[in-house]
Amino acid sequence: MTYTATLYFFGDYRPLVLEDNSRAKLKIRATTAAQNAELYKWISEAISCAISASITGCSSTTVEHGAIGLRLSTGKHDPWLDKITSALPDHPQINYYA
């Protein structure tokens, strides 16, 4: 099974898209991408909440706060927005190579 985690910034920055075969691995990779403690804490809490919902049978879960959101879904990344979002700048506190 493939899972996709997308960390997005409502059009201000390029989203971070991660795919893996385990929700736990996605959590590790997503939190590793955070480059400061506050962002790390938010991502950790948001993905934990999303994982809890996905375990109960939800195929897609979104957690948002202010100008940041995290979506956890079952399946591969849908690239339909990639042409638009690839032109956005990188978020200064995200390691896109996590």
Could you tell me which of 97, 20, 19, 30 has the C-alpha nearest to residue 68?
30
Could you tell me which of 63, 90, 65, 88 has the C-alpha nearest to residue 6?
63
pLDDT tens column, 38-83 = 999 999 999 999 999 988 888 999 999 999 999 999 999 999 989 8
One-letter amino acid of 74: T
- Report whether 15 contacts 85 (CB < 8 A): yes
pLDDT tens column, 2-41 = 999 999 999 999 999 999 999 999 999 999 999 999 999 9
- pLDDT given for residue 67 in this prediction: 94
Cα diameter, the chain: 36
